[in-house]
Structure 1
Amino acid sequence: MKTLRTFKHHLKPGRVYRRADLVQWSTAVDRHVAELVKEGVLEKLSKGIYHVPRKTVFGSAPPDEQELVRSFLKDDEFLITSPNAYNSLGVGTTQLYNKRVVYNHKRHGQFKLGGKEFFFHAKHRFPNKLSSEFLLVDLLNNLNELAEDKEQVLNKALAKAKELPKKTLAQSVTRYGNVGTKRLLLPLLKEASHAA
C-alpha cells in the first residue's frame, strides 16, 4: 500500500495527466490508476488521460480546458476559441454555440475530452492569443459555417475592418486568411492605405 500512497502523493488537484506521466511514480501504474479511479481520486477523461478533481464548495471543479488540451496534444502550441468569440466584434453574430475549436499543429478531428466536444483543426499558423484582427479574419474564414444571415454579417464585418488598425489587420489577413478572406480584405486595406 505504501507505493499507492506514494503515487497518490504526487498527484496535484486540478491537474490533468497522461498515463505516460504517471508511470514514473508507480511500478504497477494500471492497477494504481484503476484503484484511484474507483476511489474517486482520479477521473478518466479520455483514453489514457486522467484528471485529479479539485474539490470546491459546489463539488468537483471540471478540468481546466488549457490543461486538458495540453495533455491531449502533449504540446503547448495551440489556441482554443469558439464561434461565440465573434460576438465581441459587434458584427451581428449573436448565436451561442456550444463549440470549442482548437487550432494546433498536430491533430484534426472531433474529440471528446472530459465530457466536452473539441473540434481540432490542424493549421500551419495561428496566433498565441485572440485579437480583434484575428477574430475578424477567422470569422470571414468560417462565414459559411455560421447560423446567422451571412450577407448581413459580411457587410458588418467589412465595415468593422475599416475601424481596425490597418497594419495589424493586414498582418492577420496575410498570415491567417484563407483565399476568400484575402480576396475580400486585401483590396479594402489597399484602398484605405491609398486614401490615408
Structure 2
Amino acid sequence: MTALSNLKRRLRPGQAYRRKDLAKWSNAVDRHVRQLMEEGRLEKVSPGLYMTPRKTKFGAAAAKPEKLVEAFLGDDRYLMVSPNAYNGLGVGTTQLYNEPVVYNRKRHGRFKLGGRTYDFRLRPSVPKHLSEEVLLVDLLHNLERLPEDEAAVLPSALKTAERMDRRRLSRAVEDFGSARAERLLAPVLEPA
C-alpha cells in the first residue's frame, strides 16, 4: 500500500484536518495534499486546515461548523453561539446574524472557515454547554454591540433573569460572565 493510499483510507467525509494531523499519515504531506485537492478529496479551508467534503443528495457539502472550528483550534474546549439564539429568550431581540461567535481559550479575531466567517473571542473559561442562563449572560455582555434597542431589551432581559433558577444563573455569571453582566444581574442575584 502506498503512502497516498494509506492517507486516502484514513480520510472521513465531513471531517476537518490540520496539516500536522495529515503529516502523521504521509511521508510527503504537501505533495499528497496537493494530489488529494486535485482529485477533489480534500478542500483547503484556511492555511494549514483542510476538510473532506461530505456527500449529500444535493452534492458535496462542507464539514459541519463544529468540526471546522475544533480542527482550527486544535481543541474541543470552545462554545459556539449564534447571536440568533438571543431571539429564543423572548426578551425582544429580533435581528438575524450571519456570524457565529466562538468563545475559546486560543484564538481571537474573525476567521473565514469553509466560506463562512466566525468571530473568535478569547475567554479565560468556557462553559461546555449553552444553557439558557449562559445565553442570557452572553446577551447582557454583548448588548452594547448589538443593533437592538438596549433600552427596550434590558428590562425584559432582567425580568427573564428573575424567572430563572438563581443558582444556575449565578454559576453562569461566575463561569462565563463579564463585569458588565455581573453588575446588571446583581439585583436579581441578591439573596432574598
| TM-score category (smaller protein) | over 0.9
Task: Give runs of aligned pairs for residues 166-185 of structure 1, distance below 5 A.
Answer: 166-185=166-185
Identity %: 52
Does 1:133 pair with 2:114? no
Task: Give runs of aligned pairs for residues 76-91 of structure 1, distance below 5 A.
Answer: 76-91=76-91
What's 2:158 paired with?
158
Please give the per-residue CA displacement for 1:157-189, whole angstroms capped at 9, x wherever unaligned: 011111111111112123322222211211222
When the two chains are superposed, the root-mean-square deviation of aligned CA atoms in Å is 1.3
Indicate the SS of the match to 1:145.
coil
Does 1:66 pair with 2:66? yes
8 Å Cα contact 1:86/1:93 also seen in 2: yes
What's 2:121 paired with?
121
2-side partners of 1:168 and 1:3: how far apart?
A: 52
Indicate the SS of the match to 1:111.
strand
8 Å Cα contact 2:13/2:54 also seen in 1: yes
What's 1:44 paired with?
44
TM-score by length of 2: 0.95
What's 1:6 paired with?
6
TM-score by length of 1: 0.93
Task: Give runs of aligned pairs for residues 72-111 of structure 1, distance below 5 A.
Answer: 72-111=72-111
Number of matched pairs: 192
1-side partners of 2:126 and 2:26: how far apart?
A: 38
Cα drift, residue 54 of structure 1: 1.1
| Structure 1 gap segments, 5+ residues each | none
2-side partners of 1:144 and 1:183: how far apart?
A: 14
2-side partners of 1:7 and 1:172: how far apart?
A: 43
- Of 72-81 and 18-27, the range deviating more from structure 2: 18-27
2-side partners of 1:137 and 1:144: how far apart?
A: 13
Indicate the SS of the match to 2:96.
coil
- Look at both structures and tell me which one has the larger radius of gyration over its CA atoms: 1
8 Å Cα contact 2:127/2:175 also seen in 1: no
